Chain A
Amino acid sequence: MTEKVSDPDQIAVRLEGVVVRYPYEKNRATSLKEYFIRRLKGDIRTSYLTALDGITADVRTGETFGIIGRNGAGKSTLLKVVSRIIHPTSGRLRVWGKVSSLLGVGAGFHPELSGSENVFLYSALLGRTQSYTEEHFDEIVSFAELEDFIESPIRTYSSGMVARLGFAVAMVKRPDILLIDEVLGVGDELFQGKCRKKFRSFQEKGTTLVIISHGLGQIEQICQRAMWLHQGDVMSLGDVSGVLADYRSFIQEN
């Protein structure tokens, strides 16, 4: 899956007609017996929920790309496709670079384990080696501001402390492409400022940011280009001002 490929057009992510269809049976057979009875009766009908209906778009290397749209428009599904959690039902996805996502930060944390044990577990979950985590352990702990509590089980942490620890692990390594889903609500003002600073330093070194947000002001401020999704379709794509204008006039009409 990893090989040397040149990227003459400076594209980070290319989506070509990406479709994602979730199968769901209206009354799904969850037992073998039920399944065979229904199969015999010819009563297995799978319905599909189309979350993404043919998305074609490019994200350019180094830019900050915003995704906007109402709830259920398919924004999160799109990020899951790019981070390879979901394989597209059809269409093609190409990614040039190492992707990291701030989806489910702190997923897999175990409450009984200490902060430091969880750092190693979560870091490995993100695909890093043990030696990498050992090398950057102090950096992670100081970013999370948890020096005094790192050996306590995280069930004793406040929710803010847990979130900080997750972020510190996720953000220690600069990815080529960073996917962010409504993220800046973590921790207090000071910590959020620290996160923003980190994002900026990533960008300066060439990281491409893809951001989902309902905060249109924020999107306008930090993104160069954007995409508006509606019920799995691309409604508008291009410079952030144009896309936001389209979206705002849509909101006003409804």
Chain B
Amino acid sequence: MSTDIQITQEYFYDSAKKRNRVVDEIRELMCYRDLVRNLVRRNITARYKRSVLGIFWTLLDPLLTMMIMAVVFTALFAKSIPGYPVFLLSGIVIWNFFAQASTQAMMDFMYSGSLVAQVYMPKSVFTFSAIGTHLVNLLLACIPLFLIDFFIGRPITPAILFLPVSLLLVSLFTVGAGLLVSSLAVFFADMVNLFTLSLQLLMFLSGVFFTVESLPESLQTIVSFLPTFQMVTIFRYPIYYGEIPPIESLMYFSAWTIVMLIIGLYVFTRLSDEYAYRV
């Protein structure tokens, strides 16, 4: 028995201990990384469990959406933008990732009430599992995207190897945004509607459908300041133009990513003691 006791003394918890909430949250999250993995798997498999095609829907779903979008919008913009389907689809893929991951992070967290009230876990697992889930979806959506890229005859260059860097930045930015909207949504249910609506507006301003040059000049400046516009840019460049994204875009978006992560982590952990009382 004495050996048992010795081992267990490593676990000691003191509620009065001064702590850095952000560091604690990250450390706890590392301990619960297998939970994040399991939640990602659940999100992906449970969704199509009863369907005949099953997991293939995660591949088919974006493919079909992309084809519909491409057909409709190509008719509108094909003349002004060469290789328009690739231009459009690269924008849609990264936009969907950002919009769907941050929205799911928020919804999962809001509906985690019964779980959070019964079992201890670091609350940010919901944000990270939502981002993980949509990262898987994004990677699958890249398969048809690259195929279309190839068949339409856009230049495929080594710049494509830059994509992981773009993806890492976008993922971290989305983590920050997801944490921020999740914490706000718990205190104000209106946040859900507000955020969904803002996303729609942002999508049109972020250059998913058209190049920034096609906008009136006054609007061009404003749009280029939007972090989501730069987000689309740094993902699109390696695929559509076959070039490494402009350094200004990278610097600017990286700065936003850092700010967003800090704000998201700070607000989320600041409020997290209160979640069990509220959700």
Contact = CB atoms under 8 A, between A and B. Distances in A.
Interface in B1-49: 1, 4-5, 8-17, 19, 24, 27-28, 31-32, 34-35, 37-39, 41-42, 45-46, 49
B120 interface: yes
A96 B9 contact: yes
Interface stretch (B64-72, B109-117, B222-230): B109-117
Given A84-B120, A92-B14, A104-B119, A206 B1 contact: yes
B151 interface: no
A6 interface: yes
B276 interface: yes
Interface residues of A, number: 53
Given A92-B16, A108-B119, A120 B46 contact: no
A61 B117 CA distance: 26
A126 B189 CA distance: 29
Main secondary structure of the interface of A (DSSP, over half): loop
B11 A176 contact: yes
A85 B12 contact: no
B20 to A, nearest CB: 11
Interface residues of B, number: 46
Given A96-B12, A130-B34, A176-B8, 13 more contacts: A2-B12, A30-B189, A31-B190, A91-B15, A92-B14, A97-B11, A104-B119, A107-B115, A110-B46, A112-B49, A124-B39, A206-B1, A206-B4
Interface of A: 1-7, 22-23, 30-33, 35, 61, 80, 83-88, 91-99, 101, 103-104, 107-108, 110, 112-113, 117, 120-121, 124-130, 153, 176, 205-206
Interface of B: 1, 4-5, 8-17, 19, 24, 27-28, 31-32, 34-35, 37-39, 41-42, 45-46, 49-50, 114-121, 188-191, 194, 273, 276-277
